[in-house]
Homo-oligomer: A and B are copies of this chain.
């Protein structure tokens, strides 16, 4: 068995590893696949160094089988197929308002603690969600990002027949668009990259390139003048934030999915003038994982088409390089066992 050590400076080292017996309350997993998240790519490029202890195994989008149960773990058996909701709540802070998934002392498993890019991985049993027998483990590794999309669409309160604009057509933007469409919404993706536009179109999604088409006019056309009920900002760039406030109708919702490291100018007059709402969303809650699993099991989302490449853990270094050079890439999976 092996573990992929991130050693800093865009470098990984595959090291032999020994399976460790799970602590009380933990399970030992044999990881089948671990997806590469945008966050993993940011870490690879040097982000969040204070949260890591190098060398460290990263990764948090996994499918796995349980190989051992720690003391006191009930409800699970060796051989169960699972995915992991990689959140470890810490001591509750009064300002958490009961929102454990975004608590002040939350640890994100795979960043603040070791992750899933290894053959065997021990995690707390409370993080597990069961995968249906008929769900391929490749798709099991996509439950975590799909749960992000389910959370975002849920908090955005997307309803059937509503008009939804997704600004940014990367993996999360595409998943949000697919989940919103599944709810019966009419979805338009705004994206500047030709390869990503092509990917979105191949999934039957309406697209617009705001660098060549007037986005406002296109949204007017798409909605027959009604404008957007919900806008998801997933681009992470100032142009996306600027566009976001111009697209909703009165009392429309804007969902802040992207991570904007620095404050960005926001048209607060527009927020006031049309009584818009901006809704911050982060990670997921247990029900979002359950919804994601049910959606994946239903087979109604074209999740297979989002898998760009599956590669052995030993090829991780070249996979991270490939991701940097391929804007058309969606989801890369590392085969961990």
Contacts and interface: CB of A to CB of B under 8 A. Distances in A.
Interface of A: 93-99, 102-103, 155, 223-227, 229, 241-242, 249-252, 256-282
Nearest to A264: B268
B272 A282 contact: yes
Nearest to A219: B95
Nearest to A241: B268
Given A268-B266, A274-B102, A96 B250 contact: yes
A280 B252 CA distance: 10
A89 to B, nearest CB: 12
Contacts of A103: 250
Nearest to A254: B278
A229 B99 CA distance: 13
Residue from A94, A251, A252, A266 having most chain B Cβ neighbours under 10 A? A266
A154 B268 CA distance: 20
Contacts of A271: 256, 278, 280
Residue from A95, A224, A227, A277 having most chain B Cβ neighbours under 10 A? A95
A97 B225 CA distance: 11
Contacts of A95: 225-227, 249-250
Query: Which 9 pairs from chain A and chain B are nearest by CB?
Result: A271-B280, A263-B265, A278-B278, A94-B225, A260-B268, A266-B266, A99-B250, A95-B227, A95-B249
Query: Could you say how many copies of this chain the assembly holds?
Result: 2
B280 A94 contact: no
Contacts of A279: 275, 277
Nearest to A247: B95
Contacts of A280: 270-277
A281 to B, nearest CB: 6
A237 to B, nearest CB: 11
A280 to B, nearest CB: 4
A273 B264 contact: no
A205 to B, nearest CB: 23
Nearest to A261: B269
Nearest to A277: B279
A285 to B, nearest CB: 10
Given A94-B225, A95-B226, A263-B266, A277 B274 contact: no
B263 A97 contact: no
A282 B281 CA distance: 25
B273 A282 contact: yes
A144 B102 CA distance: 40
28 contacts: A95-B250, A96-B250, A97-B226, A97-B229, A97-B251, A97-B252, A99-B250, A102-B274, A103-B250, A242-B263, A256-B271, A257-B272, A258-B268, A260-B269, A263-B265, A263-B266, A263-B268, A264-B268, A265-B265, A270-B280, A272-B280, A274-B280, A275-B281, A275-B282, A277-B277, A277-B278, A277-B280, A278-B278
A247 to B, nearest CB: 10
A97 B260 contact: no
